[in-house]
Chain A
Amino acid sequence: MEVSYKVRLEKQLEAGLCAVGRFDGNHPAVACAAGACGQVLLYDPHDELQVTTTSGAPPLRTLNFNKTITALDAGPLDPARTRAQAKTTRGVTPDENDDKVVRDVLLVGLGSALMVYDVDLNSDIFYRECPDGVFSCRFCTLQGTEQPLAVVGGNCSVVGFGWQGTELFWNVAGDDVRCVAPCEGDLLVGSDDYEIRIFRKEESIYEISEADKVVALCSLGKRGRFAFGLANGTVGVYKNNERRWRVKSKNALVALLATQTRDVAAGWSSGAVTLRSASNGQVLYRDTFDAPLCSLVCADLKLSGSVQLIAVGVDGEVRGYLPAVVERDTSKAEDDLRRKREIEQLQAEKRRLVGELRALEDQPQTPSDDAQGIPGDTQISLDVAAPVHGGGFELIVATSNETYVVGAVVLDTDGGLFDGETLSCAPARPTDKLGIIVRPKKNFPASLKLQIHVAARPMSTSIHVYEVDYKLPKFCRFYRVAEEVAQPSSWVKFDVPTNVQRVAQYLTQAFVSTEAVETEDNQVKAYYVGLDGSPLRVEATKDTTGTQVRVSTNDLATAAEVVQDISTALDVHELESEASFPDESRRLKETLEKVSTHNSIRVRLTAEMADGSSRVKALVLKAEDARLMADMPRMMRNYDELMRVNEGLIAEYNKRATNHEALLAALKQVNQVVQRASQLRVGKAKARVVADARRAIKKGDAAALLSLIATGRTGG
């Protein structure tokens, strides 16, 4: 890769908000959001109508949306808006092929509304309120819907709008949706609960847990093959729903893009741009901007015939990259450099080997060394111990002989389980045993790496390091207790077509327990306590078709998680269930009531605001009139009045803002309940719950929603 051109727009841009589109159907233009008051700057290098500014910076068109922009994309959403249509509207005779070229339109997310705008004809196509918020917006063509969609990710929900502004797709996610991306007809959805979901038609076909909030996703041109970016600076690639590689950086990821050659380009807050090979993550190219990066796009901005990677910095710098010409006949200097690097690498390797050899050969040389060394047959054992005071469980490492464990470091390379990436401890008085308390922040079957520091004497300066891997069970926030726990008021009940022993086996490996779960008379009873002290009971009994499992917990989310995990582990693809969550249902009812009150308040407040703003206009006019007529006292009076009205408006606005926030929170809760209720089921039932719930919410039918949680069906 090499930089083929650089343009300075000399404007401060908003990170992450940038799109490229052929708004006139001919050449691509870059649209970037700037400032908090909703400006979109359009950089169109081929617009001959615009004149260059005096400073030499390229001309920009400014579009004002007057609201904070939260998402930006472009695409040929409306098939009727062709080049021919634009020309006819302008009174120009269209060319032959013009009716086949659909122009791109701009999709603008404005906090809680989606605006679709025709740049070329300067007209709005539609404006849709999205009460769930617009955190992300992408133009997608999905399998199962005939027309292209503007897919909006919001509070726990994903909505797809057709060109008329009609809702054609709806689904739920576990938390705020930060990114959506089309992937060959599937839809990738990344949310704040660390999950990447893949939807095919209405059904979520895969759910992948990652280590942090998912902030970026992009397709790599095949089903199940995509790149992802996380809030902690990780970038990686999935292929066939298995992770191929990932790398972590200290900086925040702002942009992720697949290039024409299916390489993964990432833009960082440090201003760095890295291009990595999709297959193994090797760095192919690096470049650095002075300012943090704003976005990465792919387009043929210079009309050179091939699509370039374009990087945009927040300071308005635009760089276009072209793939470098095939390197073979490179200059001698470069060859030299390469050789030098190779020599350096080899020397480093040699140094390492010499060091290792010396370490191996030098073993029992001097007596002082002997005292520091530990017996060669030292073994390390790793045990899980009963829960400790304050929740969590304990990993106990011990040595087999008279040596001391001076410290231990638990590395969680996936991240997200602990506050940092590691847990560590180093006792003031080491013994041959060391307990490390583990309190995972989420249920995730992470593989932990333990580094155990062993020394011959407690204060020895020479330390032998043992490495042990430990695989956390899926439900690492729950540990098994022997005595019966209090019966939670809520439960979910379902049938699995296997025997009780299989369920017992599953329970043993999925929860933190010191001994295996036993079956008695074809019955299993297991009691668990969560990190927060909440009880969980899993009971399984044999029935006619297989095993009936009953999970009792007060937390709907936990129940959903258990159902999903059991069904994956036992290879169940379709599962209906019966549930009773009285507390959760009551809360849901309250939330629904809240939603309707907030909604009515909103309508009222909007009307009042319109009133106030018309008064403002009148007062400004009056005051200005008075000024022109040199009637100072009247002018003062009017401005006084204006100030009061303005204050009133601000107060109203604050009320509206609080109301809006409360409404958002309530809606998020509803969406979350729907998501969890659907996860009490597997397969078709799961998709059905989502679809039915959407209908019920639209109708405001609380009873139907409750019955969906309980039985998975509306009514009955």
Chain B
Amino acid sequence: MELTLERSDLCQVGTISHLNTLALTEDKKSGRLRIVVGDDNGDVQAFEVKRGDAKSIFKTSAGKGGVQAVCTGGGKVKDRVFCAVGQVVVGLGRKGKQFFSLQSSLVEPIRFLSVDEALLFTGGEYAHSRYRDGADDGFYTCPDRITAMHVQRFADEHHVFLGCKDRRIRMVQKDELIGEISTERPASALTVREVTSRAYELIVGDEGGSISCYLCKESTLNTKEAWSIGGDAKVTCLACFDLTRDGQLDVVVGRADGLVEVISFGDGVPTVAWSQSLNEAIHSLRCGRVSSSSNDDIVVCTFAGRITSFSNEPMKVDVDAEASRAKEKIELLKKDVQELREKVHRAREKAQTSPSKASSSNRGFVPRGECSLDAERACYQISLELPVPIDLVHLRSSSSLDLLEDGADATAVVSTCEPDPRHDLPGKPPTKLLAAFRCQDDQHALRFCVRTVEGEPGDLRCVVVARGQPKIGRVVDFRVPALSLHRRVHELTADQLARPKNILTLEGTFTSQNAHDWLRSCLPECPPRTQPRSSSPRPTLQKEETSAKADEQKEDIPKDSLRYPRDDDDEFAEILKEAQACFPDAVREEAKEPEAKEEAPPEPAKPPPILDLQHRLCFENVYTGGCVECDYQENKARICSDSISALAILKEHISKEAVRLRQEVSDHLVLDEQSIPSFLRLIDPKLKYQRKLAERVELIDAIHEIATAEEDTRWLEEEYRYIHEHADELRKEHAKAPQALQYLTGVVADFFVDAMKARGIDGRPQLEKLDQLLLAASYDLDKLLAFFNPSMHKVPSRDGLNSLGI
């Protein structure tokens, strides 16, 4: 279904860094809706749109600090607004007069707000409160940060949906949690699309840009998504409104990259019916009859404070009148601009003459910075936005990052330069990357991609310099965790659980929060506080069997895992003694069991024992597909991973951290031989694909040459014909990830070094051979697996074992 929406820029307010600070209130007299918007200065302004012009109705200060949320309220006629500023909720009447004020008892600022007659719902960082007539009426604390809130009246109850950072959407009623959905990514916007009086659909927009729908019937939430639509940029706003006028509510979407979309359900199938980009992050979006009593509008408000409407019926006044109106508007604007120029000029002169101590430039603007992991491309996408044009962005990183070419904006000129070692501090990680992006034209936002290397944590400091006089810059900091390419998952899949895994055991005196903090410092997306174990069943068929075994297997470390094949018996006895000294319970004399294991290789690999430890966190590597599971409680933690590299990194960081905090922690790493081929099998298809791609791209020119010389190319081999016909796609794909192969071989090389180190071998001298093997035309998995056989490399020395801490 075709939809045409006419865009008009209505007005301009101060910058708005918070979401949902725009509301539409009813006005009995005109039958149109008014726009009420709160900005970062704490000002709340109301506008009425008359013939495409926004006329101010009131402007009042709601308090000190930025307005963080605005919503409509009131009785039958929704003509009042409630605004959240800091910890205070203020109610404003039709004329902007304050009639209500509520101080929250919490220290958290109120970020989400919803009002239904006498009920008021707030959401802060972690807590959700419900007030009836200004008195406490309910309270719920989420385990992780709240990222979105929506309140839905259902029959006589109110369901509050809270989207949390831990990828769950919680359905809360008063103090109780009545439902929970696990999603792929944290929800960033929520809304409800009513279907019937007994059922509705919960629409979820997430940080990755997809929009999905969950059905809710009879106040029970279906945890399986009904449909889902993908997208590029984070969804910031969602609304439901019938813009297409087909009797079905459409979903209107606002995104962080400035795109506004309308999803309609023409044949019951969700399709994007209309979209337009404003190139500025959309921070609020509401629908209603604003510009006239017969037309529907989408009213959006951007980060920079621009308020724009999209009307579904173009103003059909005669064209000449329209033109003259536009001319008038231009004149008016010109006058405004002229006046402002003079004002600025005067102010500047004043600033120069007055010997005030503080220089100018202070408030100005707040940058919007976002850094998110792009799972598909395994890189971090960083976006920076200012309400004013950007002049230059300077980047400093203490972690070695690759700036990916294609992710950068086309207009910004990027250049990197060699860091000066004199500027590093001894004892602090040295600067690894210095880069500057010079922006051209009127660019308000800069987006670029960086690829991190696991095991190299660091800080990323961006100085964003704005255009204009005086020149001001703002600093935006990001932290790159050590295992930066991991993302949190609710639970591993059955397949991941079944993989052979290496185990890192930590014991000592520490609290569970300590252990949690260690993980938090190395892995992304960890909540600040420990989380209870999820009660949901684990996706494995052998669940009961394994849990029965759990107790007996808990501390078992196969003795032979400590033994290196070439060790002579004496040496082994010595190692064993040492190991037993460290872990008296762990290493038992159970020589037979591993042997049995060897004899029966076809037996499916056992999932690692489940520990009944209190807390559990699971992660997967978005690039290699490796996984990490962490179970921990007071004085004991156990981390399992099929990637020895991930464990090695964790071990290093945890011991460093423990030493720093003077905590006594002993760690012990058990290598499962089977995990190495299992992990290499994960990487192998990627490696093969990249090799093939590189080969194909190399052939393109030669094949083109043949194709131009010959009239008929049908005789070409199928593979070559494929290359000829898909040359452009192949080139694009290759250009997207030119260093992909290099990166992959790097991952394998790290893995090799870590795997050899775990056996007490210094693998570094062998790296050159490994590289040759990986890049050779004759590469195949078996050769690679054979290379990982430790007997190929030199006999371990005692030093090697010592370095392991055994």
- Listed in ascending order, the chain A residues whose CB lies under 8 Å from chain B are 11-12, 34-37, 39, 248, 250, 332, 335-336, 339-340, 342-344, 346-365, 369-370, 372-378, 406-407, 409, 411, 418-429, 435-437, 451, 453, 460-467
B509 at the binding interface (Cβ < 8 Å): no
A411's closest neighbor in chain B, by CB? B438
Q: With A359-B363, A370-B358, A466-B471 known to touch, is A451 a contact of B465 (CB < 8 Å)? A: yes
Determine if A335 and B388 form an interchain contact, defined as CB atoms under 8 angstroms apart.
no
17 additional A-B pairs beyond A360-B347, A360-B350, A428-B425, beta carbons within 8 Å, are: A35-B705, A36-B705, A357-B344, A359-B362, A362-B363, A363-B358, A407-B394, A407-B396, A411-B392, A420-B415, A420-B436, A426-B396, A427-B424, A428-B424, A453-B463, A461-B477, A463-B465
Determine if B330 and A355 form an interchain contact, defined as CB atoms under 8 angstroms apart.
no
A466's closest neighbor in chain B, by CB? B471
Determine if B388 and A352 form an interchain contact, defined as CB atoms under 8 angstroms apart.
yes
When distances are taken between beta carbons in the complex, the residues of chain B under 8 Å from A332 are 319, 323
Determine if A376 and B438 form an interchain contact, defined as CB atoms under 8 angstroms apart.
no
Tell me the minimal C-beta distance from A349 to chain B in angstroms: 5
**Contact pick for A375, options B336, B340, B357, B389, CB 8 Å:** B357
B258 at the binding interface (Cβ < 8 Å): no
Determine if B392 and A451 form an interchain contact, defined as CB atoms under 8 angstroms apart.
yes
B198 at the binding interface (Cβ < 8 Å): no
Determine if B709 and A460 form an interchain contact, defined as CB atoms under 8 angstroms apart.
no
A365's closest neighbor in chain B, by CB? B363
Tell me the minimal C-beta distance from A28 to chain B in angstroms: 24
Tell me the minimal C-beta distance from B138 to chain A in angstroms: 35
- Identify which of A360, A364, A425 gathers the most chain B CB atoms within 10 Å of its CB: A360
**Contact pick for A376, options B357, B388, B416, B442, CB 8 Å:** B357
B359's closest neighbor in chain A, by CB? A376
Within 8 A of A (CB), among B595-614: none
A406's closest neighbor in chain B, by CB? B463
**Contact pick for B434, options A250, A347, A360, A424, CB 8 Å:** A424
When distances are taken between beta carbons in the complex, the residues of chain B under 8 Å from A422 are 415, 417, 436, 438
A248's closest neighbor in chain B, by CB? B413
When distances are taken between beta carbons in the complex, the residues of chain B under 8 Å from A348 are 442
Q: With A355-B387, A419-B417 known to touch, is A360 a contact of B359 (CB < 8 Å)? A: no
Determine if B394 and A358 form an interchain contact, defined as CB atoms under 8 angstroms apart.
no
A423's closest neighbor in chain B, by CB? B417
Would you list 6 pairs from A and B whose C-beta atoms are within 8 A, ordered by A residue? A356-B344, A357-B347, A359-B362, A360-B344, A426-B431, A436-B420
Tell me the minimal C-beta distance from A8 to chain B in angstroms: 15
Cα separation A709 to B394 with both chains bound (whole Å)? 49
Tell me the minimal C-beta distance from B461 to chain A in angstroms: 7
Q: With A335-B323, A353-B337, A453-B463 known to touch, is A420 a contact of B417 (CB < 8 Å)? A: yes
Q: With A350-B336, A426-B431 known to touch, is A461 a contact of B323 (CB < 8 Å)? A: no
Tell me the minimal C-beta distance from B331 to chain A in angstroms: 10
Chain B interface SS verdict (over half)? mixed
- Identify which of B326, B344, B474 gathers the most chain A CB atoms within 10 Å of its CB: B344
B473 at the binding interface (Cβ < 8 Å): yes
Tell me the minimal C-beta distance from B176 to chain A in angstroms: 40
A428's closest neighbor in chain B, by CB? B425
- Identify which of A339, A346, A363 gathers the most chain B CB atoms within 10 Å of its CB: A363
- Identify which of A36, A378, A463 gathers the most chain B CB atoms within 10 Å of its CB: A463
Determine if A461 and B475 form an interchain contact, defined as CB atoms under 8 angstroms apart.
yes
Question: C-beta contact mask, B417-448 vs A, less than 8 Å → 1, else 0?
Answer: 11110111100100100111010001000000
**Contact pick for A351, options B306, B465, B707, CB 8 Å:** B306
Q: Which 7 A-B pairs have the closest CB atoms?
A: A420-B415, A373-B358, A463-B473, A465-B471, A427-B423, A360-B347, A353-B340
B75 at the binding interface (Cβ < 8 Å): no
Within 8 A of A (CB), among B401-419: 410-411, 413-419
Tell me the minimal C-beta distance from A355 to chain B in angstroms: 5
B322's closest neighbor in chain A, by CB? A336
A461's closest neighbor in chain B, by CB? B475
Tell me the minimal C-beta distance from B403 to chain A in angstroms: 11
Determine if B417 and A375 form an interchain contact, defined as CB atoms under 8 angstroms apart.
no
B334 at the binding interface (Cβ < 8 Å): yes
Cα separation A248 to B414 with both chains bound (whole Å)? 13
When distances are taken between beta carbons in the complex, the residues of chain A under 8 Å from B705 are 35-37
Cα separation A362 to B347 with both chains bound (whole Å)? 10
**Contact pick for A426, options B364, B461, B707, CB 8 Å:** B461
When distances are taken between beta carbons in the complex, the residues of chain A under 8 Å from B348 are 360
- Identify which of B389, B424, B425, B436 gathers the most chain A CB atoms within 10 Å of its CB: B436
When distances are taken between beta carbons in the complex, the residues of chain B under 8 Å from A359 are 360-364, 470, 472
Determine if A429 and B417 form an interchain contact, defined as CB atoms under 8 angstroms apart.
no
When distances are taken between beta carbons in the complex, the residues of chain A under 8 Å from B344 are 353, 356-357, 360
Cα separation A359 to B364 with both chains bound (whole Å)? 5
When distances are taken between beta carbons in the complex, the residues of chain A under 8 Å from B336 are 346, 350
When distances are taken between beta carbons in the complex, the residues of chain A under 8 Å from B12 are 347, 350-351, 354
B333 at the binding interface (Cβ < 8 Å): yes
When distances are taken between beta carbons in the complex, the residues of chain B under 8 Å from A36 are 705
Tell me the minimal C-beta distance from A34 to chain B in angstroms: 6
When distances are taken between beta carbons in the complex, the residues of chain B under 8 Å from A347 are 9, 12, 306, 333
Determine if B423 and A426 form an interchain contact, defined as CB atoms under 8 angstroms apart.
yes
Within 8 A of A (CB), among B348-393: 348, 350-351, 355-365, 387-389, 392
Question: C-beta contact mask, B697-722 vs A, less than 8 Å → 1, else 0?
Answer: 00000001101110000000000000
Within 8 A of A (CB), among B462-489: 463, 465, 467-475, 477
Determine if B330 and A463 form an interchain contact, defined as CB atoms under 8 angstroms apart.
no
B327 at the binding interface (Cβ < 8 Å): yes
**Contact pick for A339, options B327, B337, B359, B471, CB 8 Å:** B327
Tell me the minimal C-beta distance from A337 to chain B in angstroms: 11
**Contact pick for A465, options B357, B435, B473, CB 8 Å:** B473
Q: With A347-B12, A420-B417 known to touch, is A354 a contact of B340 (CB < 8 Å)? A: yes
Cα separation A409 to B436 with both chains bound (whole Å)? 8
A403's closest neighbor in chain B, by CB? B359
B217 at the binding interface (Cβ < 8 Å): no
When distances are taken between beta carbons in the complex, the residues of chain B under 8 Å from A420 are 414-417, 436
Tell me the minimal C-beta distance from A264 to chain B in angstroms: 19
Q: With A339-B326, A346-B337 known to touch, is A352 a contact of B468 (CB < 8 Å)? A: yes
Determine if B323 and A463 form an interchain contact, defined as CB atoms under 8 angstroms apart.
no
Determine if B355 and A357 form an interchain contact, defined as CB atoms under 8 angstroms apart.
no
Determine if A357 and B340 form an interchain contact, defined as CB atoms under 8 angstroms apart.
yes
Cα separation A270 to B604 with both chains bound (whole Å)? 54
Determine if A364 and B434 form an interchain contact, defined as CB atoms under 8 angstroms apart.
no
When distances are taken between beta carbons in the complex, the residues of chain A under 8 Å from B322 are 336
Cα separation A349 to B335 with both chains bound (whole Å)? 12
**Contact pick for B417, options A350, A424, A464, CB 8 Å:** A424
When distances are taken between beta carbons in the complex, the residues of chain B under 8 Å from A336 are 319, 322-323, 326
Cα separation A352 to B362 with both chains bound (whole Å)? 15
**Contact pick for A378, options B323, B359, B394, CB 8 Å:** B359
Determine if B387 and A343 form an interchain contact, defined as CB atoms under 8 angstroms apart.
no
When distances are taken between beta carbons in the complex, the residues of chain B under 8 Å from A355 are 364-365, 387-388, 468
Cα separation A454 to B16 with both chains bound (whole Å)? 27
A368's closest neighbor in chain B, by CB? B362
Determine if B337 and A349 form an interchain contact, defined as CB atoms under 8 angstroms apart.
yes
Within 8 A of A (CB), among B155-201: none
Cα separation A516 to B57 with both chains bound (whole Å)? 68
Cα separation A455 to B227 with both chains bound (whole Å)? 50
- Identify which of B323, B396, B442 gathers the most chain A CB atoms within 10 Å of its CB: B396
Q: With A357-B347, A375-B358 known to touch, is A407 a contact of B463 (CB < 8 Å)? A: yes
Determine if B359 and A464 form an interchain contact, defined as CB atoms under 8 angstroms apart.
yes
When distances are taken between beta carbons in the complex, the residues of chain B under 8 Å from A465 are 465, 470-473
B304 at the binding interface (Cβ < 8 Å): yes
A338's closest neighbor in chain B, by CB? B326
Q: With A12-B708, A357-B343, A409-B436 known to touch, is A363 a contact of B351 (CB < 8 Å)? A: yes
Cα separation A646 to B326 with both chains bound (whole Å)? 78
B533 at the binding interface (Cβ < 8 Å): no
Cα separation A374 to B471 with both chains bound (whole Å)? 13
Determine if A356 and B468 form an interchain contact, defined as CB atoms under 8 angstroms apart.
yes
Determine if B708 and A340 form an interchain contact, defined as CB atoms under 8 angstroms apart.
no
